[in-house]
Chain A
Amino acid sequence: MTDKTFLGEFEQMVLLAILRLADGAYAVPIREEIELQAKRNVARGALYTTLERLETKGYLTSRMSDPTPERGGRSRRYFTVSAEGVQSLRQSHEAIRNLADGLESVLGTTQ
């Protein structure tokens, strides 16, 4: 565990968005989900780079759909969070939770 680097904030958001979208997670809705839930503007370039990186790290797996006409005859790339990805998310969350413990008065009641 000490070997692992923690996930960046944006990486966490991407992983969480993919988990929320379940079967329908490809780049377009992932971006929309983050913008909707986190109220942050997401640059497409940043998202694609992050997706590629997370896949290289083994936190994501992907599969290609059948090509569709509204995409100019191209396929969608659907992402799934791997077991390793979930594990890494847990670690990051736990770390944050531990650090936030006892700070409810500052951060508010939500955790």
Chain B
Amino acid sequence: MSRDPTVRPPRLAETVLRLLAPGSSFGESVLGDLHEEFTAVARMRSVFAANNWYRFQVARLSTTYALRFVSRLFRRSKRPSANDAFDTPQRGETVLQILSDIRHAVRTIVRRPAFAATVVLTLAIGIGANAAIFSVVNGVLLRPLPYPEAENLVSLWTRFTPESGLDFQQFSLSVAEYFDYETEARTMETVAAYTGVGATITAGDGDPERLSGALVTSNLFTLLRAPALLGRALTEQDDQPGSDPVVVLSHALWQRRFGGDAAIVGGTITVNGQAINVVGVMPPGFAFPTPDTQLWAAFQFDESDRDNRGNHFIRGLGRLAPGATLDDVDAELATMMDRWEVDFGDRYTGHFLWTRPYIDDIVGNVRGALWLLLGAVGFVLLIVCANVANLLLAAGEQRRREIAVRVALGAGRIRIFQQLLTESLVLSVAGGALGLTLAALGTRAVLALDAGGIPRTADIRLDGTVLLFTAAVSAVTGLVFGLVPALQATTPDLREAFTEGGRGTTGGRRKYLRQFLVVAETALSILLVIGAGLMVRSFWNLVREDPGFQPHNVLVAQVSLPSGDYQPEQAALFYTELIERVAGIPGVEQASATSRLPMLSGSNYPDFDIEGRVPANEGGQVLNAAHVASRSGYFETMGIPLRRGRQFLTGDREGTMPVAIINETMARRFWPGEDPLGQRIRYYGCEQCAWMTIVGIVGDVKFQGLVLDPPPVYYYAHEQAVEHYSFSNRSLVLTIKTARDPLTVAPAVRAAILELDPRLPIVGLQPMVDVVTRSAARQRFVMTLMGIFAGVALILGAVGIYGVVSYGVAQRTNEIGVRIALGAGRRQVARMVVGQGMRLSLIGVFIGVGGAVAATRIMESLLFNVSSTDPVTFVAVSVLLTVVALFASYVPARRATQVDPMTAIRSE
């Protein structure tokens, strides 16, 4: 069922293999074989499966080649043998030799426990952080969604460009748009529609409960290839308007509320006060579209729904037809949209359908953040490598005599090289093992950090892929930090090494190498700290961002009345009664309610008409705005400022003039240069609805999180809705202004609701401040992790500078002693030593800042009101790093000034 005959294996994996495979034509044939098999897997299963297959094979082959490389390295030191390979005695010797090297390495390492502990711990931090972040990336971004051939799932959206008079990048579909597309699309096997709904369930065990459900077209289940576990999923018959309403339950709901009783299938449960037949139970783990969706029912669109192009409230999901690609879909869609623009005129000017892979709907908004974190944590690992390499170089200096002795006694260079490399690998394996433990804790900590910002958290775990990743990272780390010191150590100048206390200018190359490592470390640290600094600035801007209302001392709670039990009039009366009771609770200053709470509202903005203007269906401008039902006193409880006109009054009830209050954005957008007060608006195309007179303008409030600008909004009086629009919101959010900590009145509010109707579920009873805080969860998450990484980088960088400078001081003790004896002042000595450290770190700062200018650009989409080259951050971080470097060099400099010239010279 493969789509494109020209599918290519994953590029990165292929490159890795090309680097590791033998360079000859033999390597070429290996790559070719794998490519051929990849194509076959892609054809038989899917491109996604083939990609994973390919990566897995590359991982296995790479391991083989890496092991072979190492074992050859070991064998080369033996006498060359024509009959190598599986010649048994020799193979045994090789293994023995490796084992003996490992034993020797462990002994050497254990002899210097402090050094070993430092190295292993440093490595564990680097490797552990990488494993933790990778396990998140793996679970969220790399693992396929739990549907067969999930890579063929495509989500369907609409867009309004400013040309249409609106500006929404990502918008729902209207019912007519869905049906047109569903009928016309040839590049899709199936197209389904769905929308999330709230459902109150009173059947089964336990209290009444407010659950997430979904209205869907029945073909959704075939599209997802998800058959029911018990009974059946929805069928075409269920889509017909007028057919008996039926519901399919999730496995979790079935277990929890109905004790897993199979007899529920065929039985009846009460949902939203209505008796509905249960026709099936889905298998465990099936949850669509959100992880908490518990039941599914059919839309049952009737003729008038099918003609409605104005009301955008459904979402589309498609499965690619066999052989089709996303490009084919887009090409087809482009032609379709051209035709619609002709057929339906203005409605499709600046308004069109678009698609993207379904997984982007779920993980799209965290993808950038997660890759950024993986990149950052990779930098931390590089710094760790530089640091450990530095430590090993220093240790190597101390062991030069040992090595020289061994060379003099006839040990081959390669033998010693192997020995040193084995030591590095043993260290990195130990670091990796400890790192994995840290990662297990770290992953849990990462998830605990975030309150709902990351999707698919259930898929995050330390699985085989993560283990493989960690093993590979450990091995590569061991090679990276071990290779250079090992090479250095095995090119010894015997004469120099034997000269006791080789004076002053020790091995020029070695020194430069260590200095280079310090510069690199400093540069990488500054890059990370700048990244973290930008995130902090951005987060700071975000939390200072005015949401347009006062969340302090406000308690909110959602109440939903079952439609079976409450006629619209009863619902209106219920809320009047409830608000009165809540307002009477001691500690409550004022109570009201609204249908859409700020921060949490989705992007569903229906059409409306303005009296006296040409309606959209007769060629006028399409007018969209969020419409919100509010009770009197709403703006006061939320602290939303009134700009002009008046608020809702208790007198705005049935029998009085229907009124509306609009926000500033709506006033600006639809009445530029005019006075909206006194103008009249109406729900789009609703002939029987009354015209509402605009009586006030209130401030904008953030509707969807803190980042997005507020949409145009009009508020209408909930008390008037029944009479004038023959409609009433049964589900409202109470907004309660309290005198003190809002949680203190929470129990009383709960009691007041249940007193009126003990069957009502109460959802999201919480302080409004929590709602605001949670909306910045993702930024806080990225900021916290970047901050931790930057802190680690900073510490490691400082340790690196300290290490090099103090080593320099130790090496130059004689020289410094002589200088002091010859009359150099302590200050001069200190300046000389500090100068050495500062020179290195300033070069690092310079390079790092340059790199940051280029690198922080990729963070742009994560930043809020901060430029990616924010000068304040750049300067502040540079100063910070310089100060840290100064301190790191000052400590050894002090030691240098305390050198006693007599001792120093005598020790010669």
Q: How far is the CA of A96 from the CA of B25 in the complex (A)?
A: 36
**Nearest B-chain residue to A31, judged by Cβ:** B33
Instruction: Provide the residues of chain B in CB contact with A8, threshold 8 Å.
Output: 86
B87 to A, closest residue via Cβ = A5
Q: Name which of A16-24, A42-50, A82-90 contacts chain B.
A: A42-50
B842 within 8 Å of A (CB atoms): no
**A72–B26 CB distance below 8 A:** no
Q: Is A52 an interface residue (CB 8 A)?
A: yes
A27 pairs with B64, CB closer than 8 A: no
Q: Is the CB of A45 within 8 A of B61?
A: yes
* Chain A residue contacts of B230, Cβ below 8 A: none
B60-89 Cβ-contact flags toward A at 8 Å (1 or 0): 110111001000000000000001011110
- Inter-chain contact A77/B26, CB cutoff 8 Å: yes
Q: Report whether A64 and B30 are in contact in the complex, using a CB–CB cutoff of 8 Å.
A: no
Chain B residues in 8 Å Cβ range of A74: 28-29, 31-32, 35
Contact of A26 with B29 in the complex, beta carbons under 8 Å: yes
Complex contact A28–B26 (CB within 8 A): no
- B488 proximal to A (CB < 8 A): no
Within 8 Å by CB of A72, from B22, B32, B65, lies B32
Contacts of A76 in B (CB 8 A): 29, 32-33
**Contact status A44-B36, CB under 8 Å:** no
Chain A residues in 8 Å Cβ range of B25? 64, 75, 77
A44-B61, A49-B64 known; A70-B39 Cβ under 8 A? yes
**Contact partner, A28, options B31, B37, B65, Cβ 8 Å:** B37
* Docked-complex contact A64 and B57, CB < 8 angstroms: no
The CA of A33 and the CA of B317, in the complex, are separated in Å by 43
- C-alpha spacing A64/B25, complex, angstroms: 8
- The number of inter-chain residue pairs (CB within 8 angstroms) is 71
Q: Tell me which of B33, B83, B87, B88 contacts A27 (CB under 8 A).
A: B33
Q: Which of A5, A28, A48, A64 contacts B83 (CB 8 A)?
A: A5
Contact present for B64 and A43 (CB under 8 Å): yes
* Given known A-B contacts A8-B86, A77-B29, A43 and B36 have beta carbons under 8 A apart: no
Contact A75 B29 (CB under 8 A): yes
Inter-chain CA distance A6–B321, complex, in Å, is: 56
**A39 CB within 8 Å of chain B:** no
A40 beta carbon closer than 8 Å to chain B? no
The number of chain B residues touching the other chain, given as a range, is 20 to 34
- The B contact surface, by secondary structure, is helix
- B87 near A49 with CB under 8 A, answer no
- The answer to whether A70 touches B35 (Cβ under 8 A) is yes
Any chain A CB within 8 A of the CB of B8? Answer: yes
Instruction: Judge whether A97 is part of the interface by a CB distance below 8 angstroms.
Output: no
Give the nearest-CB partner of A46 in chain B: B64
- A93 interface hit (Cβ, 8 Å): no
Chain B 23-56 residues near chain A, CB threshold 8 A: 25-26, 28-37, 39
Highest count of chain B CB atoms <10 Å: which of A27, A64, A74:
A74
Q: How far is the CA of A43 from the CA of B60 in the complex (A)?
A: 8
Q: How far is the CA of A77 from the CA of B21 in the complex (A)?
A: 15
Are A75 and B85 neighbours in the complex by a CB distance under 8 Å? no
Shortest Cβ distance from residue B90 to the other chain A in the assembled complex, whole angstroms: 11
* Residues of chain A within 8 A of B57, CB atoms compared: 44
Instruction: Tell me the chain B residues, 485-521 only, with Cβ under 8 Å from chain A.
Output: none
Is B9 interfacial (CB 8 A cutoff)? yes
Q: Nearest Cβ distance between residue A44 and chain B, in whole angstroms?
A: 6
Find out whether the CB atom of B28 lies under 8 angstroms from the CB atom of A75: yes
Chain A residues with Cβ below 8 Å from B83 are 5, 57
Within 8 A of A (CB), among B78-110: 83, 85-88
Mark each residue of chain A from 38 to 68: 1 if its CB lies under 8 Å from any CB of chain B, else 0: 0000011110110011001100000010010
CA distance A44 to B63 in the complex (A): 11
B85: chain A residues at CB < 8 Å are 53, 56-57
CA distance A27 to B28 in the complex (A): 12
A24 to nearest B CB, angstroms?
13
Q: Which residues of A contact B22 (CB under 8 A)?
A: 52
| Contact residues in B for A43 (Cβ distance below 8 Å) | 60, 64
Asked if residues A44 and B35 are in contact (CB atoms below 8 Å), the reply is no
CB distance from B637 to the nearest CB of A (A): 65
Instruction: Give Cα A26–Cα B30 distance, bound, in whole angstroms.
Output: 10
Q: Which residue of B lies closest to A51 (CB)?
A: B26
Flag if B26 contacts A52 (CB, 8 Å).
Answer: yes
Contact of A49 among B9, B29, B31, B68 (CB under 8 A): B68
Residue in chain B with minimal CB distance to A78: B29
Closest beta carbon of chain A to B35's beta carbon, Å: 4
Per a CB cutoff under 8 Å, which of A5, A11, A46, A72 touches B31?
A72
CA distance A74 to B39 in the complex (A): 13
A-B contact pairs, 21 of them (CB 8 A): A5-B86, A5-B88, A8-B86, A27-B33, A28-B33, A44-B57, A44-B60, A45-B60, A45-B64, A49-B64, A53-B86, A56-B85, A57-B83, A57-B85, A70-B39, A71-B33, A72-B35, A75-B32, A77-B25, A77-B26, A77-B29
Binding site for B on A (CB under 8 A): 5, 8, 11, 26-28, 43-46, 48-49, 52-53, 56-57, 64, 67, 70-72, 74-77
Known: A28-B33, A74-B28. 19 other contacts (CB 8 A): A26-B33, A27-B29, A27-B30, A27-B33, A43-B60, A44-B34, A44-B57, A45-B63, A45-B65, A57-B83, A57-B85, A67-B32, A70-B36, A71-B35, A71-B36, A72-B9, A74-B29, A74-B32, A76-B29
